Structure 1
């Protein structure tokens, strides 16, 4: 190699190094791409497996939901049928016991009269329980007819009806302004009747009975109505039992009732997409709350569905 060839040789070496570097970089990039492709394929396979699992879980959940709905309908039908079929025998017991009491009253001693009276009272109480159970079952069978409902007019209507039986009582009514909501008017009337009747009943032993009815905005979509009284109240430790069927926190000797009114209230409000809750203290009164969709949101939704 001569001195004249040296620059060409150096240039050749430099280009060789550059080309080798490019080849090495290309191979490294290709290897990285292959690795990334392999990882993507693995992640895609895992994602497909998870989608299959989720699809299977959704199908299982849908099947179980359908089975639960069918079971609930069967149980509801059974409850309705049994309650309906029991009414006739109970009426027979009451009717024949009253006849027996009428025709043999003078010939019976005090103990026998008390026994007959106990049979009558128990049979009538059983009849009330059956009637309330039928009412509870009907709530799930009645179709909900959603309309705009003025809670203020509905409350005034209920108080006027309840007040006809309260002429000997002095109750202070504090009715706040109430909004228009969206719901089934007949069902909501049952809710208010039950809550107002409870307030009237549990303030029966209070000299200065006071019942307050009002509402508060929960959020932009819901309004929460409340019925507050200064009556017997309840222990919050047992508040979870309030809305159960035939659950009572007071003795029957203290306050009459079957213990199903609040269960009906909860069932109706849940069908409206709302919630119920209660606050209270023993001998310090109680407050019952229930939430409903606002009328303006219902109007917006209806317009949106039309468009």
Structure 2
């Protein structure tokens, strides 16, 4: 667990002594770039977030980075289907939409233009849904006598294409206030880890600190299990239920085996490695470059097919 890191570092007696010296930057100042992020699904409106980058020597904490006057054109299977329309913004991002329904297997290209930035483009594909056969759950205790949730997902991999998957889980809990008859719905994302071979040690135990590498999103590809029926097992240690079921409402576990594009897989894989590095787990590792598929700019345009199984809890 991540909270054990403090005890490990204390035990090995790491002492950090630092001093500071101001050094004048003499390099070239990088030009700001367009930043485009979009996660696209079949049968859903197209949505993109657009902003611009800020050079690392500039103070970006109080700087508005949204871009609300960009031109975004969408191509599906080589044909232009229209331009995205600006809807709203916050300090960081502007939201653009296009009311077009994508289909599984569609190949999409996004092109963005703005007078102040270089042109950018990105290509992705909308994957087909995963084939979940069954989902089983069981509570056990780990070596620290903590209650853990074990999730087993049986699915059939498609042998005809390269597949990329994402596992996520949410605890859906209903609560009733003590003073009022108000009922609220809580969505609690679960932290997951696994020692399954499909993760290729990207989600298991850190070899130095011997702690579990947890994430709210676990991704893997199918090259080991191509075309097979396979059962993958993941574990969560934060699937706590603090309240009993409210009359008329039942707590559930929402378990996802999403099919994702290769772009999404590479982004999540590198983002998780980066997160583990900055959480002291990879304190001796080299820096990780987060995947980016926006040519000429920054960001990720990717596809996803969501597949959810709902498990009622007693």
TM over 0.5: no
Which structure: greater helix fraction?
1
Greater radius of gyration (CA): 1
Which structure: greater strand fraction?
2
Normalised by the length of structure 2, the TM-score is 0.22
Structure with greater contact order relative to length (CA < 8 Å, sep ≥ 6):
2
